[in-house]
Amino acid sequence: MITKTVAELLAPPLPDLSGVTRDVPTHDALIADLPCFQTLEIGGSAPAAPLALPITVGAWNLERCLFPEASALKVMDCDLLLLSEMDSGMARTKQRNTTAAMAEANGYAYAYALEFLEMGLGSPIEHEFCDDDHNLSGFHGNAVAARTTLGQPFAVRLFGHRQWFTDAEQPRLGERVAVGAVVETSAGPLVAVSTHLESATGQGHRQEQVAGLIAALDAAFPGLPVLIGGDLNTGNHSDGTWRDEELFDVARAAGFTAHGGPEDQMTTRPSLITRWPERAMKLDWFLARGVTLEAVEIRSSLDQNGTPLSDHDAIVARITALG
């Protein structure tokens, strides 16, 4: 578990990958020397007062976060946000720290951890959004943000095969990650966790990621209520649908309940980057233990002009009790 924090993650010089063997040991040796993978960025500002129940919580994969202020407006009622696919210092998102921009807009404190250090500008479609021919940082990751100070921020690197290290179109260093913190509420402390499971694998891979994450949380925060939220990629690149994902069995065995809104309502849509109108999936979930949630709303990611802010809709719910 990563617990070291800094006020700003610093971009390292990109390693020269020419002639480098693209395997797990080589990858892990490369990132072991990069501080940005060993630390969390802590920023924003919020009062130290506990959040009063009921608490409105949102989980949203923002697909790079092309529009931070418009995205913040869509979830301005949320006291707690679990965010994924957040850029920082990427040409495709105008080199902005998108998590910091959303935190400033809505008055959040935040913790941010890297999934990936991008070695290029992204996919060919994403090149269309670039004004620069380089990334200032190349950071892409997940965040937890709240209208209160965050205690004991942490990140957990999830099980993986480093398959993005070998990707020819979007080469990256890194692996899927969960980032979280202890949030004080009027009913006591809550462990809030944002995560993003692997898309380019089958369900067995995601099952191992959830099992590893829960084990890490149990070791670090025994007995505390836990809310995990994010893009679990259920049914993505699998033989079957979200209903077949074994990660739900792992979560249930550990005492978690799954909350994803109406069963027949998907959480993805075509976007400015993902231009596949026929591809609709149910990928986004809360996993709760010791947390009582009201019904989950699947909130459209279309802005007031009909522009999609992401290829995912947000999921939003109210926490009404802990314990």
Q: Which ranges of 16-59 does DSSP label H, i.e. alpha helix?
A: 24-32
Cα 244 from Cα 133, distance rounded (Å): 42
**Burial class (CB within 10 angstroms; exposed 0-12, middle 13-18, buried 19+) of 138:** buried
Q: Left, alpha or beta for 92 (phi > 0: left; psi -120 to 50: alpha)?
A: alpha
pTM: 0.96
The pLDDT value recorded for residue 89 is 98
Distance of CA 289 to the CA centre of its chain: 19
Query: pLDDT, tens digit, for every residue of 142-156?
Result: 999 999 999 999 999
Domain covering 21-322 in this structure, CATH number: 3.60.10.10
Query: pLDDT, tens digit, for every residue of 14-59?
Result: 888 888 888 899 999 999 989 999 999 999 999 999 999 999 999 9
Per-domain boundaries in the chain? 21-322
Residue 245, SS3 per DSSP: coil
CB atoms within 10 A of CB 129: 17
Query: pLDDT, tens digit, for every residue of 270-286?
Result: 999 999 877 789 999 99
DSSP-assigned letters across all residues of 120-156: SS-SHHHHTT-SSSS-SS-EEEEEEEESSPEEEEEEE
